[in-house]
């Protein structure tokens, strides 16, 4: 939780239990989608290096799966950043 978006401890201490719960949920979702993306991209890279054929049907399917998870990871991270910015704006001193 302590990164550049939520660096102030004063902001973290003011969060309600629902906000903390939602923040933890979004962070967990972000971590899971990132892990899935890395796994899918790694599988594609290993396959292409082993088979030396990036145009086969299996390679294209693995690449598509990697792009799908990459898109999901970017969306989940964007939601997390947006929520952190909202909390920071709501609770930071003016």
């998870």: which residue's tokens?
A: 69
Q: Note the pTM of the prediction, 2 decimals.
A: 0.75
Instruction: Answer yes or no: are the C-beta atoms of 40 and 62 closer than 8 Å.
Output: yes
Return d(Cα 35, Cα 55) in angstroms, integer: 25
3-state secondary structure of 72: helix
Q: What is the pLDDT along the chain (94 residues), one digit of tens a residue?
A: 445 455 566 677 788 889 889 989 999 999 999 999 999 999 998 888 888 877 888 889 999 999 999 999 999 999 999 998 888 888 776 5
């Amino acid at each position: 939780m302590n990164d550049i978006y939520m660096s102030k401890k004063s902001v973290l201490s003011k969060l309600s239990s629902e906000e903390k719960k939602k923040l933890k949920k979004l962070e967990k979702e972000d971590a899971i989608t990132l892990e899935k993306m890395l796994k899918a991209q790694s599988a594609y890279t290993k396959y292409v290096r082993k088979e030396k054929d990036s145009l086969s049907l299996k390679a294209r399917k693995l690449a598509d799966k990697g792009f799908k998870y990459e898109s999901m990871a970017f969306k989940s991270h964007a939601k997390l950043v947006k929520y952190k910015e909202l909390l920071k704006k709501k609770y930071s001193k003016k």
